Chains A and B, each alone.
Chain A
Amino acid sequence: MSLQPRAMRDAFLEQVWEAMADDRGIFFVTADFGSPVLDKIRADFPDRFVNVGIAEQNLINISAGLALEGYTVFAYAIAPFITMRCYEQARVSLALLSEVRPMNVNLVGVGAGYSYALSGPTHQCYEDITLMRALPNFRLLSPADHVTAQHLFHHCVGNRGPKYLRFDAQALPVIYERKAPDMEAGFHVHKKGNRMCLVATGYMLHTALDVAERLAEKGEEVGVIDLFNLTDYAVERLASALMPYIGVVTLEEGFRGRGGLDSMLFEFIARRNLQSRVLNLGVEPAYRFELGSRAELHEKVGIGTQSVLNRVRSFSESLPD
């Protein structure tokens, strides 16, 4: 039986809802943002569910206060707002304070990248990886399907400290059909290749798998890695996984060359003395107002399947034999 596509937030919130029945130590706070599963949480646990209204700064501060008193907190809002509207609250009351106080606050942001394709650039989110990974003590989690999202719940409960989960807003096809990825590793090797490896996060894993399949049809086997834990992956294992490749391509639904996944990989490869050259693919840094489907928007900004395919092919040609 194959798993149906499901929104990450619903799969994740289902876990929260189940856990809240047994664990009185969980609090759920939202900035007036919902989901079908959230309705169950507010109906069943009204004493531990709070809507702060459209007030993300207060969302973070209230969550910090609850966490100081020992609650495990899930704070929920649209991705650009839960990261950028309240960045200093996240810095001061979560990143900084958790340096000296045990706190478990999990920011659940919905709408990574272009998931809100028709809502325009205020609701799209291309800066969050860069910004949130700049904050020490924060863990940054970026799943590619709802199975991963669901399993991240236990990771959140089991690991103290502030976290940011960047969820896609759409119900994406299931990638981890049979087994969830290894949470300890923080990444998953989907496929091994010969010369090149695509490293993707979030939605872009779907594009990477698509591109790899098309290249395979033409006889070029490329590796594909899903990096879903952007802060706490198994360093040695990732280094070994990347070791064989002369070319690494990073794929993110975020601004290109602005400190996101691509910067992480550039740094990682340099620090580990790996010999790979890197092609970084992401959204060309600009704000665009055109409407279109996600696939159309992706082609326009350089991360659509066709754009990626073309650029990976040229990259491949530029690599030594």
Chain B
Amino acid sequence: MNQSDLQSKASWVWRETLAIHRRAPETRLASSLSSVEIFVALYYGGILRFNPKNPLDTGRDRCIISKGHGSICLYPILADLGYFASEELHRICEVGSFLGGIPDPIIPGYETVNGSLGHGLGVATGVALALKSKGSDKGVFVVAGDGELHEGACWEAIMFASQHRLDNLHLIVDNNRISMLGYTDEIVSHGDLNGRLTAFGWDCGEVDGHDVSAVQAVLARQKKTATGKPKALIARTLKGRGVPGLENAPLSHIINPKPELIDALLETKS
């Protein structure tokens, strides 16, 4: 996809995510809006190899979602790509649906458990080690939030990955700087996260996480280079992006915008 196609795909996913939340208010909107461009770059930007007909195809790149709540925007993408029927998007959080408020690994396209935070990177690191050990050229991509980097297990994996030179491992941090109760800088700051990851032996890039082309470009470059270092991309993002009252609000994780506001936004931005 070219830059303008990526851009319009991102706008479409943003609207779909709002529409999903309008129908299923149990879904987490704000943290799903900060990761829209990340997923669009991964799935439409030629970064990931995947097979919707056989989601666990061994020829796929593994995409492990660690911030489960904040990946509702992936639902429309997976439906669009043919992982499941688009009608399923209208049954989210309904009895009998496999699409819940927090995604589960029964959803075609989801690899692991992600409702509990701070597990994805460690499991992904094990997957990356397995692929290296088999001589596979497949990559492992993890989408994590900055909030969950408070979990110590993440740093156990971060140390391990550089020790084992897992340059097939990509960590994408949706760095919206807000966890549930406020700004991470005011809770336990990650300080210079780029510097920290670099100091831990990672090849670290940083980008405006809402510039889908920029995200795509950095991921593509990182994927091509084999430096012997695991790769991190810090995506500077805004929680609740584009929704007045929600965007960058410290309590955005638990705020549900009024249905009328969502309707008005969908009206004006369509």
Contacts and interface: CB of A to CB of B under 8 A. Distances in A.
Interface of A: 27, 47-48, 50, 52-53, 55, 57-58, 60-71, 88-89, 92-93, 96-97, 100-101
Contacts of A71: 130
Interface size bracket, B side:
20 to 34
Interface of B: 105-106, 111-113, 116, 119, 121-131, 133-134, 152-153, 156-157, 159-160, 164
A interface: dominant SS = helix
Top-5 shortest CB links A-B: A65-B126, A61-B122, A69-B130, A58-B156, A62-B126
Contacts of B111: 68
Contacts of B164: 50
Contacts of B106: 100
A62 B125 contact: yes
A92 B123 CA distance: 11
B31 to A, nearest CB: 19
B156 A48 contact: no
B268 to A, nearest CB: 41
Contact of A65 (B105, B113, B125): B125
Given A47-B133, A92-B116, A93-B112, A57 B126 contact: no
Contacts of B153: 57-58, 61, 89
A236 B35 CA distance: 53
Given A65-B123, A88-B116, 17 more contacts: A27-B133, A52-B156, A55-B156, A55-B159, A58-B125, A58-B156, A61-B123, A61-B153, A65-B126, A65-B128, A66-B130, A67-B126, A71-B130, A89-B122, A96-B113, A97-B113, A100-B105
Given A68-B130, A93-B112, A97-B113, A61 B125 contact: yes
A64 B119 CA distance: 10
A69 B127 contact: yes
Contacts of B160: 52-53, 55, 58, 62
A100 B107 CA distance: 11
A93 B131 contact: no
Contacts of B105: 97, 100-101
